[in-house]
Amino acid sequence: MPCKVLVVDDEPLARMRIKSLLEPYASEFEVVGEAGSGAQALEKIRELDPDVVFLDIQMPDMDAFEVLKNVGEDDMPLIVFTTAYENFALRAYEENTVDYLLKPVDPERLENTIEKLRRNLSNFSAQQQIPEDFSWERFREMISARGSYLQRIQVKIGDRILLINVDEIIRFQSEEKYTTVYTLTGQHLIDTPLVDLEKKLDPRQFVRIHRAHLVAIDYIAEIRKSDMSRLMVVLRDKNRTQLLVSRNFVKTVRSL
């Protein structure tokens, strides 16, 4: 009998992606429900008693830590955090049964999570899931520190303002006085200079590779040399966009 999985994220597309990526493992991990908020997550956990919860860290009504405090250790399922923000401190927990996935979730990275779940589900208990030195408050503080960075970009379209989540953005490109914002579904023009955007964005999420290009690190598929022996990055978009790395940023890109 497959273990029961609950997917929690306030973004419908993010929930859809997790469910889609879990389909090849359907014989072992069955998605029995989903929730779009912290309150819904609590309701579904109590109703469905899932074995595993893929839990978004930042949600409008309550964050993941408030959800887990309300669940209580006795009823705690295995938790796989999903987040748009990489934090080196998070890696300290990667070898424990508390796991995390960076959005957009990479299929190969998900395979590691599945293996970890397989190892732990057979003899899972709440005490095994949470390391003795784990502190929800400390973990929460690390994530909250990200709040100082820009989370959304506003795009004016006529008399409307479109809000684009930063984790949906593949790259920014400077276009004279304007900046083009590229996402998986399209592109938009904003009047914020690239140099100003760079100051407001998390440097662990975006990297400057050229005077005209600021790229989301998670969307870099590979780094390689061009025919002229110049360094290039290939992006994880439908066009496999290739961008030249300026000599001034080669060292930064090589250190990713």
pLDDT classification of 91: cutoffs 50, 70, 90: very low
User: Do residue 130 and residue 159 come from a single domain?
Assistant: no
Q: How many residues are present in the chain?
A: 256
Rounded Cα distance, 214 and 196, in Å: 11
State the helix-helix crossing angle for 107-121 and 12-22, rounded to 10 degrees: 70
Task: Kindly state the DSSP code that residue 133 receives in the 8-state scheme.
Answer: T
Handedness of CA 15, 20, 23, 24 (dihedral sign): negative
State how beta strands 3-8 and 52-56 pair: parallel
- 85-89, 101-105, 108-112, 221-225: least confidently modelled range: 85-89
Q: Does the pTM exceed 0.75?
A: no
- What percentage of the chain reaches a pLDDT higher than 70? 84
Computed over every residue of the chain, the mean pLDDT equals 83
Q: Both tokens of residue 160?
A: 């409307």
pLDDT given for residue 78 in this prediction: 87
Residue by residue, what is the 3-state secondary structure of 195-236? Answer: HHHHHHCCCCCEEEEECCEEEEHHHEEEEEECCCCCEEEEEC
Residue where one domain finishes, among candidates 81, 112, 147: 147
User: Do residue 17 and residue 139 come from a single domain?
Assistant: yes
**Winning range, highest mean pLDDT, from 12-16, 143-147, 198-202:** 12-16
Cβ–Cβ < 8 Å for 161, 155: yes
Whole-number CA gyration radius for the chain: 20
What are the pLDDT digits (tens) for 23-75? 999 999 999 999 999 999 999 999 999 999 999 988 889 888 888 888 877 77
- What number is the average pLDDT over the span 154-160? 89
Residue 133 has pLDDT above 60, yes or no: no
Which residues span the domain enclosing 198?
A: 152-254
Query: The tokens 């100003």 sit on which residue?
Result: 196
**Winning range, highest mean pLDDT, from 28-42, 106-120, 129-143, 166-180:** 28-42
User: Do residue 139 and residue 161 come from a single domain?
Assistant: no
Please state the φ and ψ torsions of residue 188, each to the nearest 5 degrees: -140, 150
E strand spans, the chain: 3-8, 29-35, 52-56, 78-83, 99-102, 152-157, 160-165, 169-175, 178-183, 187-190, 206-210, 213-216, 220-225, 231-235, 242-244
User: Do residue 121 and residue 210 come from a single domain?
Assistant: no
User: Do residue 30 and residue 126 come from a single domain?
Assistant: yes
Rounded Cα distance, 139 and 143, in Å: 7
pLDDT classification of 158: cutoffs 50, 70, 90: confident
Rounded Cα distance, 192 and 103, in Å: 25
- What number is the average pLDDT over the span 238-243? 92
User: Do residue 65 and residue 187 come from a single domain?
Assistant: no
Residue where one domain finishes, among candidates 98, 126, 147: 147
User: Do residue 125 and residue 156 come from a single domain?
Assistant: no
User: Do residue 169 and residue 244 come from a single domain?
Assistant: yes
User: Do residue 167 and residue 140 come from a single domain?
Assistant: no
How many domains is the chain partitioned into structurally? 2
- Can you give the CATH number for the domain in which 14 is found? 3.40.50.2300
User: Do residue 181 and residue 99 come from a single domain?
Assistant: no
pLDDT given for residue 17 in this prediction: 93
Tell me the three state secondary structure of residue 66.
Answer: helix
- Can you give the CATH number for the domain in which 223 is found? 2.40.50.1020
Q: Which candidate, 104, 102, 73, 107, places its Cα nearest to that of 185?
A: 104
Residue where one domain finishes, among candidates 125, 147, 169: 147
Cβ–Cβ < 8 Å for 256, 217: yes
User: Do residue 31 and residue 138 come from a single domain?
Assistant: yes
State how beta strands 99-102 and 78-83 pair: parallel
User: Do residue 172 and residue 224 come from a single domain?
Assistant: yes
- What number is the average pLDDT over the span 208-231? 90
